[in-house]
Amino acid sequence: MEEERTYQVQAQEAGQRLDLFLASKDAGTSRSQCKKWIEEGRVLLNGRTAKPRHPVQAGDEVRVRVPEPVSPEITPEFLPLHILYEDEHVVVVNKAPGVVVHPGAGHASGTLVHGLLDHCERLAAQGSPLRPGIVHRLDRETSGVLVVAKSDRAYLRLIEQFKEHRVRKTYLAFAHGSPRPEKGELRTLIGRHPIDRKRMAVVDRNGKEAVTQWRTVTSWNDQVALLEVRILTGRTHQIRVHCQHLGHPLLGDPTYGGGKRKSRALPHPRIRDAVLHGVQRTMLHARRLELEHPVTGAPLVWEAPEPEDFLSLRTALDAAVREP
């Protein structure tokens, strides 16, 4: 259960950075952890979100929602897994939508890591104890290919490949509208949203370079499009942010402008019905992953079949535009 704490800034504390002020209130909480809470929107300064570096003033009220602590001990749990490949160094899965990759605040059980530990007993010990073997992630609602390290040797070499952008990642995504041109590349900086710290955004400075390539696979009356998307970098929410920036947010993504309200505004009644009935999540699927085996160096390619909700929506949209 989350704990709520409230602090009043005293005169002698005025001028401190917000993250340093919070860290000073609890010897067991690091400044980096406080900074993370601030960026996640868990900290309100006088009722509003603020940046970690914001200076506090005497009389300010700081309210914090402290997440429930997660035990570093992970108990293996059975979880249905779709294994695409496995050897002594790596395991590759087709992650189902709705599954969280690793334990964290609010997700102390039922994650992919719990299921993998039940399946293969050991994952790489490198990295965070709550993220054994995890070298990249997919959002909770995103389905598709995910590689996990079983050996420490594999972990370090996979991290190196991701860091050097030598891994090729290709996605399928349903988006509102139909991008023009039908294929292209977007290169921007992505950082925390200046107001809503839970979200990411295209920013002019203080962000990290993000490069996304897209190609339209199919379009239905220019109201919905199926895109093939390749990301050359791996920023948080990169595809979702870039599609919003292009004016074509993903179907089922209320965080970045593609939620039910936008779907209800689709002008074609049968397309609108198909989307409202067929979309129950952010429609993003990690279709293909290409990298070198971390130990043998052999080139490897894995593909995750198109998920059932993608196939069903395609069928419904085809029927919608065929009918007179």
Task: Give rounded-to-5 percent helix, strand, coil for the chain.
Answer: 25, 30, 45
Residue 293 near residue 177, CB atoms below 8 Å: no
Spatial separation of the C-alpha atoms in residues 191 and 238, rounded to whole Å: 10
Q: Per this entry, what is the length of the chain?
A: 324
Phi and psi torsions of 173, nearest 5°: -150, 135
Residue type, 90: V
Selected catalytic residue, list 139, 222, 273, 309: 139
Tokens encoding 46: 């006088």
Spatial separation of the C-alpha atoms in residues 7 and 64, rounded to whole Å: 8
Spatial separation of the C-alpha atoms in residues 269 and 254, rounded to whole Å: 21
Spatial separation of the C-alpha atoms in residues 237 and 272, rounded to whole Å: 26
**Beta strands across the sheet bearing 61-66:** 3-8, 61-66, 43-45
3 state SS of 222: coil
Burial of 211 per CB tally in 10 Å (0-12, 13-18, 19+): middle
Ramachandran class of 116: left when φ > 0, alpha when ψ lies in -120 to 50, beta otherwise = alpha
Give the DSSP H or E segment for 299.
Answer: strand 299-303
Give the number of other Cβ atoms within 10 Å of residue 178's Cβ.
Answer: 18
Spatial separation of the C-alpha atoms in residues 124 and 143, rounded to whole Å: 23
Residue 87 is a catalytic residue:
no
* Catalytic site positions: 139
